[in-house]
Structure 1
Amino acid sequence: MSERWARTILSAYRMAGAAVYPLVGGYIAWRSTKGKEEAGRRRERYGFTRIARPRGPLVWMHAASVGETNAVIPLVERIVGYGIGVVMTTGTVTSARVVRERFGDRVIHQYVPLDLKPTVNRFLSHWSPDLAIIAESEIWPMTILELGARRVPQVLVNGRLSDRSFAAWKKRSYLAEALMENLAHVVAQSEEDGARFAALGARPVTVSGNLKVDTDPPQADPEKLAALAKDVAGRPTWAAISTHDGEEEIAADVHLLLKARHAGILTIIVPRHPDRADTLEAMFSAKGLTTARQSRGDRVSPATDILFGDTIGDMGLYLRLTEIAFVGRSLEAEGGQNPIEPAMLDTAVLSGRNVQNFREAYHQLIERGGARLVNDREMLAGAVNFLLNNEGKRREMMAAGRATVDEMRGALAATLRALEPYIQPLIVKARLEDGSGRR
C-alpha cells in the first residue's frame, strides 16, 4: 500500500512540475534582478546549453552552494586527473565563480536544472552522464527518478541529514524509500548520518567523515591581508562569523561590553547573508559604533569599532586577522555553521548550543578542547574576555582545534574507495578513447 502511495505522490509531483513549467520564467527573471541568477545563463536552468558534450566518459557532479562546492573540489580534482570529463552544476552565482576560479576550462560548469521533468530530461539527454555524484543532502525527486530511469548510477557523497530533514523524511518513509532505492551508494559524513540514510532505505551506506576537513584552508588575497593586518596590528580582536539575523546585534553588544576592558578592541562581523549589510550598518550606527565596510574598501582606523565583512569569499581574510571566532547560526537560529574553517586557521572556536547540523565536528572539537559552547550574549562576552586575557589558554584552544582537524582527515580517501566500482570502468573507457592509439 505504501509503495503504491509513494508512486501516486511522485506521479503527482511529476505532473505538477509539468504544469508549472511554463510559469517559472517569471520566477527565474525575478531572481536575476536580485543578482541570484546570471542573466545571460538563465536558460541553463531549463536544461539548455551552448556547450557541446565532450567525447568520452563524463561525470555529473552537483554541489548546491559554496560550502558544498569547496568540499568536493579535491574529489573533482582526482576525477579530472583520471582523464574523465566533469560537468559540474551548482545553484548559486557565488559557487559558479568558485568553480570557474578553481578549475577554469578543465571542468564544464552549468547551473543546475530546475527539478522539473522537461528541464531534467533536456539536461540528461544532452550531457548523457555515465555517473552522477551529488554532494551532501541534495535530494531532488524528479532528478533522482529520471537518472534512475536512465540507469545512471547515482552516488551521494559527504551525505548529511539534519534533525529537521530526517524528521520530515521519516514522516514520509514510504516516499523516502522510493527515492533512496535509486541511489547506488550513500557515503555519509558520520555514523549518525549513515544510520539515518539507512533508516530511510538507502543501501549500501558507508561512512567517510567530512570531506570539508580534507580541503585546503580558505585563502586570502595577500595584498588585502597585508593592508588590513597593518591597520589592525596591536589591537585585540575577535570575530563573529557566518552570523544570522539577531546574532550581529549580539556581537555588537558584546563589543560594547568588552570595550571598557580592552582598549582599542576591534570586532570583525561577517554575516552569512551580506545582502542585509545596509540594515546592519544602520543598527551598528544606532549603537554609536563606527563601522568600516569591506565592500566599500573602508580604511580601518584606530577609531573603528566594527570591521564589517560584507563580502563573499573572503572568510580566509577575516579569520587570519584574529585568534578568536564565534561561529553563528547557533544562538539566534538553529543548525549551526561549520567550525572546520576557523579551526583550520588556528582559531579558538566559540559557538551557541544550536549546532545540530555539525554535531559530530563540534563533538570532536569540544572533546579535545578546541571549541566551547555559550548560552547567550553575556556568556559569549565572558568567553571572549577570558580568551583575550589568557593567552596561554587561547593558544591551547587554537592548537587543539588544529590538531582535531588533522585527526579528522581521511574522508577523501574513504570516498574514493567507495566510488572505485563506478570510477574504475570510466578510467578504462577514458584511456581507450583518449586518442593515443591504444584503442
Structure 2
Amino acid sequence: MIAHIYRGLTTAAGPAILWYLRRRLARGKEDPARFAERLGRSTRARPPGPLLWCHGASVGETMAALPLLHRLAMERPELGLLVTSGTMTAAAMLADRLPAGAQHAYIPADRPAWVRRFLDHWRPDAALWMESELWPNLVAETARRDIPMALLNGRLSARSHRNWRRFGRWAAAIIGPFAPILVPDAVQAARFASLGGRDVRVVGNLKAAAMLGEADPAALAAARASIGRRPCWLAVSTHPGEDELVLAAHARLRAGCPDLLLVLVPRHPQRGADVAALAAAAGLPAVLRTGGDAVGPDTAVLVGDTLGEMALYLRLADIVLVAGSFDVGRGGHNPLEPALVGAAILHGPDMANFAGVAERLRQADATLPVADAGSLAAAVARLLADPAERSRRGQAARRVAGEEAGALDRTMEALAPLLDRLSDTGGAVRAGA
C-alpha cells in the first residue's frame, strides 16, 4: 500500500519536483550542462557489452567505491562501468579519478517516468549500491527488470533503522531485492537482517580501502613550510554548530599555547568564508586555503576550504578531531582516514555511522572521546603535552586501519558469482547485441 502511495505521489508531484530541481539549478547546486540527466535523459551512448552500474549518493560513497572500481577495471576489463551520483561535488571529484573507460552520470530524481527513462537508456546488467541511499522507485523499477543488485558498505544509523522498521513490508520490499548485502560490522548486519535483508555478510569497511592517496609533494611542502615548527591540530568535516565548539576549544588552548594553529576543514568547502568569519569573531585570525595566503605568525586558524586535499590536511597534524559527531543524530564521519596516516583521533559522543570501527579503535586505545569544548580542549592539551601518548595512539589507529583494509578483497570475493554471470552472458540481452 505504502509503495503504491509513494509511487502515485512522486508521479503526481512531477511539476513540483521539477520546480525544486530548477531552484537548485539557480542556486548553483545542479550542473547546468547536464541538468537533463536529473530527469533521466542522457546524451552519452551506452557502451556495448555487459554494463555494471555503481551508485553512490555523494563524495563519501563514491570515493569509497573508487578502489573497487579500479579493481574491477583491472580484473574484469570486459565489463563496462557506469558510476552515478547525485551531487556536483561528487562528479567533480570523480572527473579525474575514475578508471579509464568508466562513465559518470547523474542519478535521476526518484520519479517513475524519469527512472524508467534512465534505465531504458543505460540497460545495466547489474547494480552495486553504496551504503544507504535507497530510492524506492529506482530500486523497485530496477528489481522489476530482474537486474541483480548488491548493496555494498551497507550502513543504517540507529535512527534510520528505527524509521525503516516502522514501514515493515515496504522496508522489506526495498531491502529484499539486494543480494548480497555487504556490511562493515555485526551491528549493521543485524539491522539489515531485521529489515528483511537476504545474504547479509560482514566483510569490513570499504572506506578503509578508499584511496586517501598521497598529497601533492610541492603543496604539502609549502603548507608545512608556512606552518613551520608551530604546534598544530586538525578538525575535519565540521558542520554548523561544531565550528563554534571547535573554535571555543581552540581559544582556550591558545590561552596556554599562543603559538598553536588549528587547521579546520568544514564538511562543505563552500562554507569556508563563513567559518573564517566565525574565527575572526572569536578573536582568532584566520586564512582561507583557497585565498592562497600563507599562514603567518599571527594566524590562529587555517580554514581548509578546498576539494581533494584531505590527504594534505591529514598530513599537517598528528592530532585529529573527527567531526559530525557532536550533533547527536548525525552519526559522525569516517575515522579511518586519520587512522591510515597514524593520527591520534578525537571524536564526539555520536559515532553511530561508524559504530563498528569506532569501537575497534576504542578497544585499541587509539581514540579519545570528548563531549564539549572544554573536554575537547583538555584532550588536545593532553596530547600536545605527551608526544609518547600521541605516537602510541596513532600507531594503534594505523594497525586498526590495516586490519580493515582487507574489506576490498572480501568484497570482490563476495561479488565474484555475480560478476562471473555478467562475464559469461556478455550482457547481450540488455545491450541489444
TM-score, normalised via structure 2 length? 0.95
Unaligned runs of 5+ in 2: none
The equivalent of 1:179 in structure 2 is 174
The equivalent of 2:231 in structure 1 is 236
**Aligned-pair CA distance for 1:215:** 2.3
For structure 1, which segment, 256-265 or 239-248, has the greater mean C-alpha deviation from structure 2 after superposition?
Answer: 256-265
Equivalent pair of 2:272/2:304 in contact (CA under 8 Å): no
2:197 and 2:99 map into 1 onto residues whose CA distance is: 35
Amino acid of the structure 2 residue aligned with 1:60: W
Equivalent pair of 1:347/1:398 in contact (CA under 8 Å): yes
Deviations 1:309-340 (A, max 9, x none): 12222211111111101111112443111111
The equivalent of 1:16 in structure 2 is 9
Counterpart pick for 1:117 among 86, 91, 112: 112
**Aligned-pair CA distance for 1:247:** 1.5
Deviations 1:67-105 (A, max 9, x none): 111111121112222120011101111111222211265
Equivalent pair of 2:212/2:310 in contact (CA under 8 Å): no
1:360 aligns with 2:356: yes
The equivalent of 2:347 in structure 1 is 351
SS of the aligned residue for 1:300 comes to coil
What is the Cα-based RMSD across aligned positions, in Å?
1.8
Equivalent pair of 1:245/1:332 in contact (CA under 8 Å): no
The equivalent of 1:4 in structure 2 is none
The equivalent of 1:133 in structure 2 is 128
The equivalent of 2:372 in structure 1 is 376
1:430 and 1:124 map into 2 onto residues whose CA distance is: 18
SS of the aligned residue for 1:260 comes to helix
Deviations 1:331-383 (A, max 9, x none): 24431111110111121100111111111111111111211101221111111
The equivalent of 1:41 in structure 2 is 34
Equivalent pair of 2:25/2:32 in contact (CA under 8 Å): yes
The equivalent of 1:147 in structure 2 is 142
**Aligned-pair CA distance for 1:172:** 1.1
1:221 and 1:94 map into 2 onto residues whose CA distance is: 20
1:78 aligns with 2:88: no
Equivalent pair of 1:348/1:401 in contact (CA under 8 Å): yes
The equivalent of 1:99 in structure 2 is 94
Deviations 1:259-318 (A, max 9, x none): 132241101111112333333222211222111111211211011000011222221111
The equivalent of 1:3 in structure 2 is none
Counterpart pick for 1:401 among 392, 397, 401: 397
Amino acid of the structure 1 residue aligned with 2:44: I
Deviations 1:408-434 (A, max 9, x none): 22111111122111100222345999x
1:29 aligns with 2:25: no
1:101 and 1:431 map into 2 onto residues whose CA distance is: 27
The equivalent of 1:437 in structure 2 is none
Amino acid of the structure 2 residue aligned with 1:318: Y
SS of the aligned residue for 1:212 comes to helix
1:431–1:336 CA distance, 2 compared to 1 (3 A): closer
**Aligned-pair CA distance for 1:145:** 0.7
Count of paired positions: 427
SS of the aligned residue for 2:69 comes to helix
Unaligned runs of 5+ in 1: 1-7, 434-439
2:14 and 2:310 map into 1 onto residues whose CA distance is: 38
For structure 1, which segment, 23-32 or 12-21, has the greater mean C-alpha deviation from structure 2 after superposition?
Answer: 23-32
Counterpart pick for 2:337 among 338, 341, 345: 341
TM-score, normalised via structure 1 length? 0.94
Instruction: Give matches, 1:47-62, under 5 Å.
Output: 47-62=40-55
For structure 1, which segment, 395-404 or 103-112, has the greater mean C-alpha deviation from structure 2 after superposition?
Answer: 103-112
**Aligned-pair CA distance for 1:181:** 2.4
Identity of aligned residues (%): 39
1:431 and 1:161 map into 2 onto residues whose CA distance is: 32
The equivalent of 2:301 in structure 1 is 306
Amino acid of the structure 2 residue aligned with 1:298: D
2:314 and 2:202 map into 1 onto residues whose CA distance is: 30
Instruction: Give matches, 1:168-317, under 5 Å.
Output: 168-317=163-312
Q: Which has the higher contact order (CA 8 A, sep 6+)?
A: 2
**Aligned-pair CA distance for 1:254:** 1.6
2:100 and 2:413 map into 1 onto residues whose CA distance is: 27
1:411 aligns with 2:404: no
1:113–1:217 CA distance, 2 compared to 1 (3 A): same
Equivalent pair of 1:218/1:341 in contact (CA under 8 Å): no
The equivalent of 1:388 in structure 2 is 384
1:202 and 1:332 map into 2 onto residues whose CA distance is: 29
SS of the aligned residue for 2:271 comes to helix
SS of the aligned residue for 2:151 comes to strand
Equivalent pair of 1:187/1:415 in contact (CA under 8 Å): yes
